[in-house]
Amino acid sequence: MGFRETILGLDQLVSPDFHLVKRNTGDVLEQADALPFWSQDYTQLSKGVFSGAVNSVSCNGIQIFTETMNRAVDQIASAPQDSYVIGLTTVVEGEASWGLLPVRVNSLITLDKNAELYFRTSTISEITVAVIPAKRLEAYAEKIDWMNFSQVMGAIKPVELLPANVARLLLSALQYGLQFGAEQEQQLDNRQKWESFEEDLMSACLHALFHASENTHPHFDHRIPRYIVNRVRSSTLTNPSFPLTIEELCKALKVSRRTLNHAFIRVLGITPVTYMRNVRLQRIRIELLNASKDVSSIAHVASKWGFWHMSLFSRYYRELFGECPIDTLQRARGLK
């Protein structure tokens, strides 16, 4: 698959492996045709001049897209075959429904594989969505002991309101996927980043689905999950350069992947992968804030804590702390 960028109807081959569409539209029919790989029939419901936009990035069978519109539209649509659709309603101004259920901001919206979508948008709307091949997502879910993923998808409602922190985690993963292709000259780097991104995306999707399907237990004892979290923290700090994988942690703790993930979600509301990364980022920040002039480079400190891909490290650091590593170091040295 080639990487094509579409802006106001103009196609340009940009990079192998990726397919990119960025398109502003002035007609609802043009909007229906703008999203690649979907079959869509749009009917404008509210009066006025239509304005919309589609931003879509696809690679390796996975598609991430954002769609915005300024008019209420009745959509009948079909996603790519044998794919799950998982996303968020990020702007809802007025009444809207997905799968005949009302939606609000931060609603988790899902579509089972090969199901037809009925979506009535609000007057002003935006959705941000992942389309993931069913086999890929089911295999990943099985890998972390979600053995009946298709049953989970069948059991939850097409619309579930997410807690704000869970919605932010999912939206962050989706928005990062939309950034691919911006640096057109770094084609190989983009491909490597995407492969790393895919697991983060599926982890964020499962995290959101877990919250949508979870039955709360008021008498649940948090001491065991907290013990698991503490053991993972200790392991992370004692193996800074080469942190244990999830599989190695499960073997060391004698727990399943599902138990490990559920422990972190119940105690901290994040995945163990995110937690271990944040612990290491925090230690790097401490070193940078206390750095003397003999610190040779940020890369040296980062690699000491197991970060070997500097662009990914910088992104994680900036997302967590709201500033770049160099800003932290310069402030510590009184240069800012």
Q: Determine the pLDDT at residue 181.
A: 56
pLDDT value of position 57:
94
pLDDT of residue 152: 80
pLDDT of residue 274: 86
Give me the pLDDT at residue 217, please.
Answer: 40
Q: What is the mean pLDDT of each run of 10 residues along the chain (336 residues)?
A: 39 59 89 94 81 94 96 91 97 91 94 91 97 93 75 85 91 90 55 82 90 55 78 89 88 90 81 88 86 74 91 90 88 71
Which residues 6+ apart lie within 8 Å of 189 measured at CB?
183, 311
Portions of the chain given CATH number 1.10.10.60: 216-332
The burial class, CB within 10 Å (0-12 / 13-18 / 19+), for 117 is middle
Q: Supply the CATH classification number for the domain 216-332.
A: 1.10.10.60
pLDDT of residue 16: 52
Domain 2-180+207-212 has CATH 2.160.10.10: no
Count the neighbouring beta carbons within 10 Å of the beta carbon of residue 107: 23
Tell me how far apart the alpha carbons of residues 148 and 141 are, in angstroms, rounded to a whole number.
8
Are residues 255 and 228 in contact, defined by beta-carbon separation less than 8 angstroms? yes
- Predicted pLDDT of residue 295: 62
Tokens at residue 176, please?
């990062």
- pLDDT number for residue 124: 97
Where in the sequence of the chain do the CATH 2.60.120.10 domains occur? Answer: 2-180+207-212
Contact 108, 208 (CB under 8 A): yes
Taking phi over 0 as left and psi of -120 to 50 as alpha, with beta for the rest, 48 belongs to left
pLDDT at 218: 41
pLDDT at position 189: 63
Could you tell me whether strands 39-44 and 73-78 are parallel, antiparallel, or unpaired per DSSP bridges?
Answer: antiparallel
Any residues with CB less than 8 A from the CB of 54 and at least 6 apart, and which?
A: 21, 22, 23, 25, 31, 34, 35, 65, 66, 67
